[in-house]
Amino acid sequence: MKKIALEEHFITPALEPYMRAVMPNLPSERADHLSQLMLDFGERRLAAMDSAGVDIAVLSISGPGAQGEPDAAMAVKLARDANDRLAAEVAKRPTRYRGFAHLPMQDVPAAIAELERCVSELGFVGSMVNGHTHGVYLDHPKYDPFWERMQALDVPLYLHPADSFVLPYVLEGAPELLKPTWEWNFETSSHFLRLVFSGVFDRFPRLKIILGHMGETMPYHLWRFDSRTALIVGKRPLKEAPSFYLKRNMFVTTSGQFDNVPLIAALSALGADKVLFSVDYPYEDSVVAGRFLDAAPLDEETRGKVARGNAISVMNIKA
Ligand code: MN
């Protein structure tokens, strides 16, 4: 079945050092290989897409990108350069590629302007944000104008994992738990839950937030969010129970989570319109990702929604 994938990474020469800086424990040959794959927009990338049955890949910077730059003015320049390069590659292969805007979240007005430019002028279909920016999360009130623009443009934000700002003590001395094994699930789901509990979705009810890795464990947890927070004294007021916002405003992808158990949990908890196929190229194996969805125990209507129907509607893709 033909698929659209949306956690598919590239890198630019200028942003490669930021990416390499967050992979200190990767053997250099493996890091070099990943860089080569992500600098390529030609035959190798297209062959990987074909091997998973992906006809359209929505491309995004492999983090942290410009969000890792301490100087905000430099971050603005780096993001703009990355988006211009991506737009040029999409223009070369308009039937195969789309783009997610890369944004300098250090500078909110600049991030809004770049978002607007990417969507309105470059034709990008949303944005990807790589977690916190120097310890600032997206529930900070300074981002309200950004959310207002995201909602007005009617494009999704893909909330991609990032390393913890400060490593939680429980992860000290347990290198196996760092990064994708467990640290990023907790970091990224907590980031999303900050949006829920700070009332961002009451203020901006039409926001669409996409999380990878089958929702970073959250679809499993809806009942408990509701039952436990109901007991909290002094909680911030919300119009609805927490699970309402997870079901309405959250979309999840299969990136790096090619297992039927979390797939069925996500579909059951969130509904057939909320789960979208993705690979997480080049960190995951495209063949494994494609075979997983092709063989998953789903009816054909649901499989079609996960493979491409939901992506077309969430990102307004003209396929
Ligand atoms: Mn990724």
Per-residue pLDDT of 226-265, as tens digits, reads 999 999 999 999 999 999 999 999 999 999 999 999 999 9
Q: Name the band, by pLDDT with cuts 50, 70 and 90, for residue 318.
A: confident
Q: How far is the CA of 63 from the centre of ligand 1 (A)?
A: 8
**Is 319 a residue whose pLDDT tops 80?**
no
- Rounded distance between C-alpha atoms, residue 307 and residue 305, angstroms: 6
Rounded-to-integer distance, Cα 150 and Cα 126, Å = 8
Cite the DSSP H helix spans in the chain: 16-21, 28-39, 43-51, 72-92, 108-120, 144-153, 183-197, 200-203, 213-216, 222-229, 242-249, 260-270, 286-295, 300-304, 310-315
Instruction: State pLDDT tens for residues 91-100.
Output: 999 999 999 9
How far is the CA of 236 from the CAs of 57, 140, 142, 150, 189, in angstroms?
39, 15, 18, 24, 19
Kind and range of the H or E run holding 57: strand 54-61
pLDDT of res. 24: 87
Question: What is the pLDDT at residue 259?
Answer: 98
Q: What is the whole-number distance in angstroms between the Cα of residue 134 and the centre of ligand 1?
A: 19
Distance (Å) from CA 226 to ligand 1 centroid:
29
The residue count of the chain comes to 319
* Per-residue pLDDT at 217 exceeds 80: yes
Tracing tokens 């039409």 back to the chain, one arrives at 206
Query: Would you name the residues annotated as active-site residues?
Result: 280
Fold (topology level) of 3-315: TIM Barrel (3.20.20)
Ligand 1 centroid distance, CA of 160 (Å): 6
pLDDT tens for 110-163 read 999 999 999 999 999 999 999 999 999 999 999 999 999 999 999 999 999 999
Ligand 1 center from residue 247 Cα (angstroms): 23
What is the domain partition of the chain in residue ranges?
3-315
pTM above 0.95, yes or no: yes
Q: How far apart, in whole angstroms, are the C-alpha atoms of residue 264 and residue 199?
A: 29
